Amino acid sequence: MSLSRDDVAKVATLARLALSEDELAQMTSELTKIVGFVSLLEEIDTSNVEPLAHPLGTTNVFREDEPAPSLPVELAIATAPKQDGECFLVPAVLGD
Amino acid sequence: MPEPTDNAAPYTTVIGLEVHVQLLTKTKLFCSCENRFGAPPNTLTCPVCLGLPGSLPVMNREAFRLAVRAATALDCTIAEFTKWDRKNYFYPDLPKGYQVSQFDLPFSEHGQLEAIDPKGAFEPRMVRILRVHLEEDAGKSMHDESAGTADSRIDLNRTGTPLLEIVSEPDLRSPAEARCWLGELRLLLVYLGVSDCNMQEGSLRVDANVNLHIPKADGSLAKTPIVEIKNMNSFRSVERALTYEVVRQYEEWQATGKELGSAPKQTRGWDDAAGITRGQRHKEESSDYRYFPEPDLVPVTLTVDEIAAIREGMPESPRALRKRLEETWKIPAYDADVLVGQGRALVEYFETLARLVDDGKVASNWMQQDVLRTLNEQGIAIDAFPVAAAGLADVIGRVKKGDFDTSRGREIFAEMIASGRSAEEVVAAMGIAAVGDDELMALCRELVEANPKIVADVQSGKQQAAGGLIGQAKKKNPNVNPGQVRGLCLKIIGELPAP
């Protein structure tokens, strides 16, 4: 299977990565190799294999619905690039 | 092919709803921060819901329990094996860059819920439910429009709170059906204690998908492109937005002839003040979310026996309750709908009252008139109502016994509500003593003697003339029962020698 430049450009956009044309070309070639490596798995007949939902065999790990203290607001927003003491500040989000 | 519901319209309206409800847990879905509305911004967060590196989510047992209850009540098949997936997208109110949701193995699917109009404006409509799944909510972004290009403020208190997504099949056929169905869904979830479904606080949110099926001259069917409507803040605005959108789509189809497939699915926002929908960004394809299994959470399994036990333990649904009230207490469907719509506590009050007075219809009348009016006027719930069912039953019992008439009874009840005193105390305080039989007989004899003209009229066959005696009796003693006065006076006159 081979990936096109446009496939990679689309994935880059979804991941919010700004790639130059050179980087796109390089990524296309590298990603194609990785996908090719993984597609070796397609040689195995998995028709009778249950899809794996989780690598650990365990299920049903729960916690009880008991509140615990949250972080104080100044700590919660401490590492934000921009904040007003109460909220995280981000470039204007308008509409949807 | 769906049948048209509106014979006047040259098309069938096809509506599907996607509803998100917040679960009534004490804590968030994956961490122990409180799940609470209205706290100061960013005071209910921790490394898990902030998405800080190295933090790990752990599923809230109660959230899963409530989710399964809701899906069971919606007649869904509960999965014996379910898992969580990451839905990837970037938005400032989603700190992890993905939402933990369910993709290919939701915990429940294939349910149903009926839309019923108590006033009978449309035939009951059974609406299939495609799936119900459990996911985490995002935070809230606030933008002050007047501040121009200033920053948006992000509050992450809501981030990671448990959210149930309920997706219906496109089975609804009119905006009114959609509104009724939502009302029934909300009532059911409130009855189950799964959610408070408060739309003002955002604990119930609705998106609607709508398009039209238009029969063409050649016998084929034109389907208009599906539009998803967002930003509807009440059930009324859901109905209004759909009504607007149906007309808009028909006009657009007439103008452009565009059909499903020739135009991408569109998202439109409802502007409640302007009463119109406006186009928004194009909907991302599902695959653009690049779902993959959430490695930080293990799957959840339920045995067939556990699923059966949950089904056994379900409380009576609003629909079953309405039916039972109608049958047990012989009240009209409309009465049952009003009572059930007020919540389980009010229904319990009604049933206690109905049992005590042994008369469902009379109990329902007092509930609809006096009790509900007071609740509305005072803006309180039945739990805060000052008179217990036994107190009201006492009043109704006295009316039935003939101590006083219904209008006097209502005055006494109003005074009991205002003062918090018992019927006994109010009757004494208002000087309303039951009029004894001897006293009443004496009064009636006195009236008959004093009114020869009325007596003569009655003797000549004009029984309604006795009404004049009742008026006089009430003046002499306001506590007399008009029916008794009338009956006694007619009896006395009947025993007089003929003129």
- Residues spanned by the domain of A13: 5-43
3-state secondary structure of A62: strand
Looking at the fold, whether B444 and B421 belong to one and the same domain comes out as no
Looking at the fold, whether B30 and B145 belong to one and the same domain comes out as yes
The closest of B45, B206, B177, B38 to B113, measured between CA atoms, is B177
Q: With an 8 Å Cβ cutoff, are B45 and A70 in contact?
A: yes
Looking at the fold, whether B328 and B261 belong to one and the same domain comes out as no
Whether the CA torsion B73, B79, B85, B89 is positive or negative: it is negative
What is the C-alpha to C-alpha distance for residues B393 and B350, in angstroms, rounded to an integer?
10
Question: Which residues are CB-neighbours of B355 under 8 A, at least 6 positions away?
Answer: none
Q: Which of residues 408-447 of B touch A (CB under 8 A)?
A: none
Angle at A83 between CA A81 and CA A88, to 5 degrees: 90
Looking at the fold, whether B330 and B402 belong to one and the same domain comes out as yes
Question: Which residues are CB-neighbours of B257 under 8 A, at least 6 positions away?
Answer: B222
Q: Is residue B7, in this structure, part of any structural domain at all?
A: no
Q: With an 8 Å Cβ cutoff, are A60 and B293 in contact?
A: no
Q: With an 8 Å Cβ cutoff, are A64 and B290 in contact?
A: no
pTM attached to this predicted model: 0.84
Question: Which residues are CB-neighbours of B30 under 8 A, at least 6 positions away?
Answer: B48, B49, B57, B58, B59, B60, B100, B136, B160, B297
Looking at the fold, whether B224 and B340 belong to one and the same domain comes out as no
Last residue of a domain, one of B404, B429, B454: B429
Residue entry with tokens 């009348």: B365
Last residue of a domain, one of B429, B456, B485: B429
**Is some CB atom of chain B closer than 8 A to the CB atom of A14?**
yes
Q: Which of residues 40-69 of B touch A (CB under 8 A)?
A: 40-47, 50, 58-64
What is the C-alpha to C-alpha distance for residues B19 and B466, in angstroms, rounded to an integer?
63
Q: Is residue B24, in this structure, part of any structural domain at all?
A: yes
Question: Which residues are CB-neighbours of B338 under 8 A, at least 6 positions away?
Answer: B118, B368, B372
Predicted local distance difference test score (pLDDT) of residue B143 = 82
Q: Who wins on pLDDT, B283 or A46?
A: A46
- Residues spanned by the domain of B455: 437-495
Residue in chain A nearest B59 by alpha carbon: A62
Contacts of A65 in chain B (CB under 8 A): 25-27, 60-63
The mean pLDDT of chain B is 90
Q: Choose the mutation target among B43, B85, B298 for the interface with A, i.e. most A CBs under 10 Å.
A: B298
Q: With an 8 Å Cβ cutoff, are B44 and A70 in contact?
A: yes
Q: Is residue A83, in this structure, part of any structural domain at all?
A: no
Looking at the fold, whether B423 and B443 belong to one and the same domain comes out as no
Pairing of strands B12-22, B85-88: unpaired
Least confident of B197-201, B416-420, B433-437: B433-437
Q: Is residue A29, in this structure, part of any structural domain at all?
A: yes
pLDDT tens digits, residue range B318-334?
999 999 999 999 999 99
**Is some CB atom of chain B closer than 8 A to the CB atom of A75?**
no
Q: CA of B153, closest CA in chain A: separation in Å? A: 5
Q: Who wins on pLDDT, B28 or B490?
A: B28
pLDDT tens digits, residue range B330-354?
999 999 999 999 999 999 999 999 9
Predicted local distance difference test score (pLDDT) of residue B2 = 43
Closest by Cβ to B155, choosing from A59, A67, A87: A87
Q: Is residue B310, in this structure, part of any structural domain at all?
A: no
Q: Choose the mutation target among A79, A88, A90 for the interface with B, i.e. most B CBs under 10 Å.
A: A88
Contacts of B25 in chain A (CB under 8 A): 65
> For the purposes of burial, counting CB atoms within 10 Å of the CB of B177, is it exposed (0-12), middle (13-18) or buried (19 or more)?
buried
Looking at the fold, whether B424 and B441 belong to one and the same domain comes out as no
Predicted local distance difference test score (pLDDT) of residue B4 = 44
Contacts of B149 in chain A (CB under 8 A): 92
Predicted local distance difference test score (pLDDT) of residue B169 = 98
pLDDT band at residue B455 using 50, 70 and 90 as cut-offs: confident
Question: Which residues are CB-neighbours of A26 under 8 A, at least 6 positions away?
Answer: none
Q: Are B126 and B112 in contact (CB under 8 A)?
A: yes
| CATH number reported for the structural domain that contains residue B446 in this entry | 1.10.10
Last residue of a domain, one of B429, B448, B469: B429
What's the 3-state SS for chain B?
Answer: CCCCCCCCCCCEEEEEEEEEEECCCCECCCCCCECCCCCCCCCCCCCCCCCCCCCCCCEEHHHHHHHHHHHHHCCCEECCEECCEEEECCCCCCCCCEEEECCCCCCEEEEEEEECCCCCCCCCEEEEEEEEEEEECCCEEECCHHHCCCCEEEECCCCCCEEEEEEECCCECCHHHHHHHHHHHHHHHHHHCCCCCCCCCCCEEEEEEEEEEEECCCCCEEECCCEEEEEECCHHHHHHHHHHHHHHHHHHHHHHCCCECCECCEEEEEECCCCEEEEEEECCCHHHHCCEECCCCCCEECCHHHHHHHHHCCCCCHHHHHHHHHHHHCCCHHHHHHHHHCCHHHHHHHHHHHHHHCCHHHHHHHHHHHHHHHHHHHCCCHHHCCCCHHHHHHHHHHHHHCCCCHHHHHHHHHHHHHHCCCHHHHHHHCCCCCCCHHHHHHHHHHHHHHCHHHHHHHHCCCHHHHHHHHHHHHHHCCCCCHHHHHHHHHHHHHHCCCC
**Is some CB atom of chain B closer than 8 A to the CB atom of A81?**
no
Contacts of B151 in chain A (CB under 8 A): 82, 89-92
Looking at the fold, whether B225 and B348 belong to one and the same domain comes out as no
Contacts of B90 in chain A (CB under 8 A): 16
Closest by Cβ to B150, choosing from A92, A95, A96: A92
Q: Are B279 and B271 in contact (CB under 8 A)?
A: no
Looking at the fold, whether B102 and B228 belong to one and the same domain comes out as yes
Percentage of chain B surpassing pLDDT 90?
Answer: 67
**Would you tell me how many other CB atoms lie within 10 Å of the CB of residue B362?**
17
pLDDT tens digits, residue range B174-211?
999 999 999 999 999 999 999 999 998 899 999 999 99
Q: Who wins on pLDDT, B496 or B198?
A: B198
Q: Is residue A35, in this structure, part of any structural domain at all?
A: yes
What is the tally of structural domains in chain A? 1
Q: Choose the mutation target among B34, B42, B107 for the interface with A, i.e. most A CBs under 10 Å.
A: B42
Q: Is residue A31, in this structure, part of any structural domain at all?
A: yes
**Is some CB atom of chain B closer than 8 A to the CB atom of A94?**
yes
Looking at the fold, whether B143 and B264 belong to one and the same domain comes out as yes
Q: With an 8 Å Cβ cutoff, are A72 and B43 in contact?
A: yes
Contacts of A16 in chain B (CB under 8 A): 90
Query: ipTM, 2 decimals?
Result: 0.91
Q: With an 8 Å Cβ cutoff, are A95 and B269 in contact?
A: yes
**Is some CB atom of chain A closer than 8 A to the CB atom of B484?**
no
Q: Are B108 and B77 in contact (CB under 8 A)?
A: yes
Looking at the fold, whether B347 and B371 belong to one and the same domain comes out as yes
Phi-psi region at B161: left, alpha or beta (left = phi > 0; alpha = psi -120 to 50)? beta
Closest by Cβ to B154, choosing from A58, A72, A87: A87
Residue entry with tokens 């997706």: B167
Q: Is residue A96, in this structure, part of any structural domain at all?
A: no
* DSSP conformational letter for A53: S
**Would you tell me how many other CB atoms lie within 10 Å of the CB of residue B258?**
14
What is the tally of structural domains in chain B? 3
pLDDT tens digits, residue range B129-176?
999 999 999 999 988 766 666 889 999 999 999 999 999 999 999 999
Measured CA distances, B245 to B10, B173, B224, B226, B265 (Å)? 15, 13, 11, 11, 14
How large is the C-alpha radius of gyration of chain A?
22
Chains A, B: CB pairs < 8 Å:
127
| CATH number reported for the structural domain that contains residue A29 in this entry | 1.10.20
pLDDT tens digits, residue range A36-76?
999 998 899 989 988 888 999 899 999 999 999 999 999 99
Q: Is residue A55, in this structure, part of any structural domain at all?
A: no
Looking at the fold, whether B351 and B373 belong to one and the same domain comes out as yes
